[in-house]
Structure 1
C-alpha cells in the first residue's frame, strides 16, 4: 500500500549537495562493487536492501538526504564509529515533513498517531514499508488492523497455551505489557467483520521484514523482551492469511511468511523458557508448511523442533525431528541446511550417550558445511557459520562428558563469533563456564561465568540465565575459592538488579 502523497504544490527543494563522505568511503571501488559490499554487509546482520549502482549514484549526488531505516542499520554496521551526519547525511528530523503540511488520509495513517514520511528513499515505498513492519513489531493487532483498514482488533487464532504466563507473572505487568497498553485501543465494542481486504506485495513484505527484524533483535538482545510483541505480529499475519483476498502467488509468499513468523515466535518462546508454547507455535508452522507443500519451511520447523526437544531432554524426539528435517531438506539442494540438521541429529545421539552415532553425524555435518554456501541456502540460516557449528559441537561433547573437547570447541566458538552478536557470545561463554566446571576447573568456570555476567545486562534470555544459574548453584559450595567468590558476588548482584 503506497503512501498517499499530498497534491498541494510544494516549494522547490534546494539543489542537492553532493555527499563527499560516502564518495570517499567508496574509494577505488566502482559504484557496482560498492553496492555489492553494502548488500553483503546487510546479509551479515540479517537485513535486506536492494542496493545497486544507481542507488550509490543517488547517495553520492546528495539526492538521498537521509537513508531509510534499513540502510541506516547497514551503514551503522559497516561504519560503527560514524554517525549519519559523519557519513554525509542530514539528520532524520531535518528531512521529515512537518505534521501540519498535509492532513494524511486514512490510507496513509500507517502508525499509531500518524507517521511522518521521509522525502527521500531508494524506492517510493521503502520507508513506508519500514513503518509498516514496525507496526507489526510494536503496534500489535489493533495497529495492524488500522494499517489494513480493518474495523477492530485482530483476533486470529494462533496457538497460545494457558502456560504463557504463570499466575504470579500475571500479578505484575511486564515492560512489554506496558508498551502494548500504550499502543493498543482497548474497550471498543466488537464490530461486524469487515469485508475481505485485498492483500498485495506490500503487506507480504511487511510480514517478511517482521521476521528479519525479530531475528536481528534476538541476535543482539535475546528473546525475553520480544516474545509478546512478536506474538502480536504473528496474530496479525494470520489475519492477512485467513481474512484477506490475494492471488495464488501472494498466497504462497504469505503462507511462507506466516510460517516463518510462527517459527520465529516459537524460537522466542524456547529461548524465554516457554517450551509448551514453542511446541505449539512449531506445530502451527508445520501445519502451514504441509498445507503449502513448502519443503523449506518444513525443514526449518523440524530443525527448530529438534533443538527444542534436545533442550527439553527428549533425545528420541530430537532425533526423529532432525531426520525428518533432513528428508525435507534433500528437496532443496542446500548443503548448509543439511549440515545444520546433521548437527541437530548429533545432539540427539549425544544425549543418548551413543558416541559412535554422534561422531558419524558430526562428520557428515562438517563434510556438508565445508562444501560452502550456495544460493539455495535459506535466508534464516545466516547465523550458521563457523562459530555456530563449533558451539553446537561443544554441546555434543559436553553431553558426552568430554569436557576438554567441549571446552576447546566453546573457546573456538567465542573466538569466531562477531562482536555485535552479543547474545551468542554470552551463550558460548556460559557454555564454556559449564564445561570448565565439568572438568573440575573451579577458577576457570568462575572466570568465564564472570565474563558472561558482564554481558548479561545486554541480553534478555531466560535460557542463558538458567545456564548461569545452574553453574552458580554448583559453585556455591566452593565460594572460598577467590575467583568463585567474586563470580558469585557479581552474579547475585546482576540477578538482583
Structure 2
C-alpha cells in the first residue's frame, strides 16, 4: 500500500491523455524499441508512476520518457530529482517492490529492500545464470565465478513466506535472460540459466504465498522462466531438454489457468516441433496456441501463432494451407500492436514476420521467394538484436545458395561470420554450415564463394 507521503504524479497522468494505462504502456515499449532500450512497461507500472509510488524512474525508463517527450526534463514530467530519492533514508513507500524494469539491477534509485531473505533471493536470480555468470561465460568481462560460489548463489534459504520481492526477482531473471540471448545467443547461457529456474520452482513447491495475486504472478514468472530456459536449450541444439522445459511451462499454465502462458508455451512447442522435424505436431501445437490466445486481445500474438502453423504446414508440403496461414498472420499483424500484447513478444516486428515467411517458402523449396523475404528481414532487423541479425543473414545465405545466387550467398555468409564472435548459437552455426555444404556441392566448387568457404572452415574448426 502506498503511504500517505506519496504524492500523485498529475503531470504524468495528463501526458497519458485519453489512452488507457495499457495503451500508454504499449507506447512506452514502442518508444524503447526505437532507441534500443529494453523495458517491460505494463499498466501496473504506469499506475505506480501516476500514484506517486515511483518518484523517479530508473535510467532506462528515463531515456525512454525523454525520447517520447523531446525537450522535457524529468521535473517537467512530474518526477522528483534523482538525488532527492536516493538511498534508504528517502524511501516513502512501503509495500510492493519495483515492477518491470525497476530494482537495483535496472538502475532505479527510489526504492530499497531491507528484508534479508529477499536480498539473498535477488542475488540468486540476478546473478546465478544471468548477468554476472553469463558475462564471464560469454567472455564479456568480469571475474569468472567459482563452482563453490555458484552453488551458494543457487541455494535458496529456508522460506517463511514468498512475497512480492521474490516474485519480482523471478520476473527480472526472465527479462535478463531474454536481453542476454538477444545480444549473444544461447550456447553460453543455458547451463547457468537452469539454476534460477530450479529456484523458481522451489518457491512454487514451497506453497507459502499469502495472496492470490502474488501466487498468480509467481506461477506466470516460473512458467515464463521455464520457456526462456527451454528456448536457450532449443537454440543450442538440446531439443529433448527444450521439450521438457516447454512441457513444464504448459503444465504450470494449466494449473494456474493462465491463458497467456499457455499460448506462449504452445507457440514455442510448435517452433521446436518444426525444427525437430515433427511438422504435424507443430501444426497441432500452433492451433492449440491460437485457441488459448483468442481472448487475450493481442492480434500480434495470433499472427505469430498463425506463422507457427504455417511453418508446420510447410514442413508437411501443404503449400495451400501454408499460404492461407501466412495470409491470416499478415492480416492480424496489420491490425497493429495492442494493450494485450505480451511482454515477451518484443522481438516480433516486421523483420521477424518476413523471416518466418522466408522459412516457410524455404521449406517448400521456393528458394527465390524465400530469399526475397529473407532480404527484407535482414534489411529491417534492428542492429541491437545481434543474435537475430546473425540468424536472419544465416537463413538468407542458405536460401541464396540454393537459389543459385552464389556471390550474394558468399557475401551474406561473410556477414554472418563477422557476427559469430559475438553470438553463440548452435542453431545459427548449423544453418550456416548447411549453406556452406550447398555451395561446396555446386559444379566447380563454387569458385565465387571460395573465400567464404575457406573462412567458414577456419571458424568451424576453431569452435
TM interval, shorter chain, is: 0.7 to 0.9
Q: CA deviation at 1:47?
A: 1.9
2:373 to 405, 409, 424: 409
Say whether the 8 Å CA contact 1:227–1:268 is kept in structure 2. yes
Distance (whole Å) between structure 2 residues aligned to residue 434 and residue 389 of structure 1: 18
Give secondary structure in 2 for the equivalent of 1:197.
coil
1:306 and 1:321 in contact (8 A); partners too = yes
Deviation at 1:415, TM superposition (A): 1.1
Superposition deviation, residue 249 in structure 1? 1.7
The question of whether the paired residues in 1 share the 8 Å contact of 2:38 and 2:60 is answered with no
Alpha-carbon offset, residue 375 of structure 1: 0.7
Asked if 1:463 is matched to 2:455, the reply is no
Tell me, yes or no, if structure 1 residue 487 matches structure 2 residue 452: yes
Q: How far off its partner does 1:139 sit? A: 2.6
Give yes or no for contact 2:249–2:265 (8 Å, CA) kept in 1: yes
CA distance in 2, matches of 1:131, 1:75: 32
Q: 2:413 aligns with which of 449, 454, 476?
A: 449
Residue 194 of structure 2 corresponds to residue 231 of structure 1 = yes
Within a 5 Å distance, the mapping from 1:47-446 to structure 2 comes to 47-48=39-40, 50=45, 68=58, 70-71=60-61, 121-125=109-113, 133=122, 135-139=124-128, 179=145, 181=147, 183-185=149-151, 196-246=159-209, 247-446=211-410
With over 3 angstroms needed to count, the CA separation of the structure-2 counterparts of 1:232 and 1:359, relative to structure 1, is same
Aligned-partner Cα distance in 1 for 2:419–2:453: 15
Q: CA deviation at 1:490?
A: 2.0
Gaps of 5+ in 1: 1-28, 79-94, 98-115, 144-173
Contact 1:38-1:51 within 8 A present in 2 as well: no
The secondary structure found in structure 2 opposite 1:296 is helix
- Higher mean C-alpha deviation, range 244-253 or range 354-363: 244-253
Deviates more, 1:481-490 or 1:392-401: 481-490
Q: Match of 1:241, SS?
A: helix
When the two chains are superposed, the root-mean-square deviation of aligned CA atoms in Å is 4.2
- Residue 120 of structure 1: CA displacement? 7.3
SS of the equivalent of 1:198 reads coil
State how far apart, in whole Å, the 2-side matches of 1:118 and 1:272 are: 28
Task: Quote the Cα distance in structure 2 between the aligned partners of 1:329 and 1:52.
Answer: 25
Indicate how the Cα distance of structure 1 residues 370 and 120 shifts in structure 2: closer, same or farther if over 3 A, else same: closer
SS of alignment partner, residue 145 of structure 2 = helix
In 1, the alpha carbon distance for the partners of 2:123 and 2:433 equals: 34
1:263 Cα offset (Å):
0.6
Shift of 1:122: 3.1
Are 2:40 and 2:343, in contact at CA under 8 Å, matched by a contact in 1?
no
* Residue 237 (structure 1) shift: 0.6
* 1:31–1:374 CA distance, 2 compared to 1 (3 A): closer
Counterpart Cα distance in 2 of 1:118 and 1:290: 31
> What's the secondary structure of 1:432's corresponding residue?
helix
**Alpha-carbon deviation of 1:475?**
2.2
Query: TM-score normalised to the size of structure 2?
Result: 0.75
What 5-or-longer segments of structure 2 have no aligned partner? Answer: 1-11, 17-23, 69-84, 88-103
Quick one: structure 1 residues 249 and 262, their matched pair in 2 at CA, closer, same or farther if it must change by over 3 Å? same
The whole-number CA distance in structure 2 between the counterparts of 1:73 and 1:180 is: 36
Length-normalised TM-score, structure 1: 0.70
CA change 1:77–1:216 in 2 (3 A) is farther
Number of aligned residue pairs: 400
Deviations 1:101-133 (A, max 9, x none): xxxxxxxxxxxxxxx99997133459x999965
Contact 1:218–1:423 (CA<8 Å) still a contact in 2? yes
**8 Å Cα contact 2:86/2:110 also seen in 1:** no
Structure 1 pair 41–179 and aligned structure 2 pair: CA distance change class (3 A): farther
- The answer to whether the Cα contact below 8 Å between 2:184 and 2:422 also exists between their aligned partners in 1 is yes
Q: In structure 2, what is the Cα distance between the partners aligned to 1:53 and 1:249? A: 16
Secondary structure of the residue that 1:245 maps to in structure 2? coil
Secondary structure of 1:184's counterpart equals helix
